[in-house]
Amino acid sequence: MTSPLCTDVLIVGGGIAGLWLNARLRSQGFSTLLVENASLGGGQSLKSQGIIHGGAKYALHGALSGASEAIADMPRRWREALAGTGELDLAGVRVLSDAHYLWSPGTLAGNLSSFLASKAVRSRVDQVKGADLPPALQHPKFKGKVYRLNELVLDVPSLIERLSLLAGDSLLAAQQIEALRGTASEPAEQSEQAEQSAQADPREPTELTKPAELLGLRLDGREVRAQRIVLSAGAGNAQLLADLGIRQPSMQRRPLHMVLVKGPGLKPLYAHCLGGGPKPRVTITSHPAADGQWVWYLGGDLAEAAGVARDERAQIRAAQHELAQLLPWIDLSTAHWATLRVDRAEPAQSSLGRPDNAFLAEQGRLLVGWPTKLALAPDFADRVLAALARDGIRPGPPSTRPELPRPPLGQPIWTSLLP
């Protein structure tokens, strides 16, 4: 039995939530270890559209909701980090677009009027015309209104790479993650033996009256004790909680069926296209492929319920129909198409609604949560830091790294899905 290693905070899951939190903790002097069982960013983060929402999309009902309020400060925080002057130094991360656009095609401007009626929204959007329109919309046949939102779009692969650099030597790859239980005052093995003998015949009284506490985790057999353990494993949180015998918080999955299209006729476009309802009809982001062409990644209503029900061929046909209607001047005759099914993992909400901000639940040394949006990773880290401060947890001695490999970086999805 090897003696346990100690760290201040042990993080499980290397998506945006875990990596951002890890970098923040390290910048404040905490010792950290982060364990990943697949690839860094390879869960939802590298499948996201990379939009740093400022909440405008959520105000389409004409009134700001809780989501808009919580998220409103995120573009500023990310911009400062990207400039190297914020809470993290993200200088060098590629910004794909300095703005995201809201685009109302044809005569649907009525839909925009209630949106723009909100003063808080008006202060965040500007109408753009002519040469200021996004390149893909600069065509004589284009009709509609376009507003510029104060929202960035990031190249998520370069973000994940930068955060993995800020992680130093704290990143660990391990497959088997088990609870390390004991009481803080006695060795973990001793209390586990007592717990096992009590489980063998639960009617027998045992001298051990205190329940065994979660002290750390065993990572592929290596024991790591921590002052706090944070589960930020996205969709993996549900299984991790089940393995730890913990029922709450429960998680919901919101399935999406996204579409990717790559072709020589595509120019960059970052926009929510409005339909008749409160949700964007389609949300388009553009991503550079290694051969210099652009990949359009299509989400929004197209990828939600009706899109989830379609098989891949029908979903591609639906996307082709949308683009032919909205942007008929774009030549997609030689384009390559693919779809991607992916679930958003979030804390369970009534009627599968969208959570308003990052979520964190606590139980003893264990903290578990979901940022609920890439943009809200700073909010997730704030919540963990607030919990540490409240409990008087301060940076301790540096941790020793267990002998485990470093996890690989996840790859952009279009490299595997498109030629």
Interacting residue ranges for ligand FAD, rule: CB under 6 A: 12-18, 35-38, 42-45, 47-51, 53, 177, 232-236, 240, 256, 258, 299, 342, 344, 370-375
Question: Burial letters for 214-224: b for 16+ Cβ neighbours within 10 Å, e otherwise?
Answer: bbbbbbbebbb
Nearest CB to ligand FAD, comparing residues 191 and 303: 303
Smaller CB separation from ligand FAD, 149 or 191: 149
* β-bridge mates for residue 370, sequence order: 359
Q: State which residue, 10 or 136, has the beta carbon closest to ligand FAD.
A: 10
CB of 285 to ligand FAD, least distance (A): 7
* Closest distance of CB 346 from ligand FAD, Å: 7
Report, in Å, the least distance between residue 179 CB and ligand FAD. Answer: 12
* Cβ nearer to ligand FAD, comparing 19 with 212: 19
The distance of closest approach from Cβ of residue 117 to ligand FAD in the complex, given in angstroms and rounded to an integer, is 25
Backbone torsions φ then ψ of 301, nearest 5 degrees: -60, -35
Helices 16-27 and 377-390 sit at what angle, rounded to 10 degrees?
Answer: 50
State in angstroms the smallest separation of the CB of 143 from ligand FAD. Answer: 27
Task: For ligand FAD, give the closer residue by CB, 191 or 229.
Answer: 229
Burial class (CB in 10 A: 0-12, 13-18, 19+), 134: buried
For the CA atoms of 52, 58, 63, 64, the dihedral, rounded to the nearest 10 degrees, stands at: -40
Q: Omega of the bond prior to 211 within 30 degrees of 0, cis?
A: no
Tokens of 204: 């027998």
Q: In terms of CB distance, is 74 or 191 closer to ligand FAD?
A: 74
Return d(Cα 206, Cα 196) in angstroms, integer: 11
Q: Which residue, 38 or 208, has its beta carbon nearer to ligand FAD?
A: 38
Q: Which is nearer to ligand FAD, 44 or 150 (CB)?
A: 44
Inter-helix orientation angle 16-27/156-166, to 10°: 40
Q: Which is nearer to ligand FAD, 4 or 43 (CB)?
A: 43
CA angle 169, 25, 346 (to 5 degrees): 100
Name the minimum Å distance from CB 19 to ligand FAD: 7
CB 174 within 8 A of CB 35: yes
Task: Label the pairing between strands 222-231 and 366-370.
Answer: parallel
Tell me whether residue 258 or residue 273 sits nearer to ligand FAD (CB atom): 258
* SS3 state at 178: strand
Specify whether the CB–CB gap between 266 and 135 falls below 8 A.
Answer: no
Parallel, antiparallel or unpaired: strands 271-274 and 100-105 = parallel
Do residues 382 and 25 lie in contact, with contact meaning Cβ atoms separated by under 8 Å?
Answer: no
- Residue 258 has which token pair? 């996204």
The secondary element (H helix, E strand) that includes residue 415 is helix 413-417
How far apart, in whole angstroms, are the C-alpha atoms of residue 29 and residue 145?
Answer: 49
End-to-end CA distance of the chain: 49
330 vs 323: CA distance, rounded Å: 8
* Residue 347 bridge partners (DSSP): 251
Q: Tell me the H-state helices in 217-371.
A: 237-243, 305-309, 312-326
Closest separation in Å from C-beta 60 to ligand FAD: 16
Nearer to ligand FAD, 134 or 299 (CB): 299
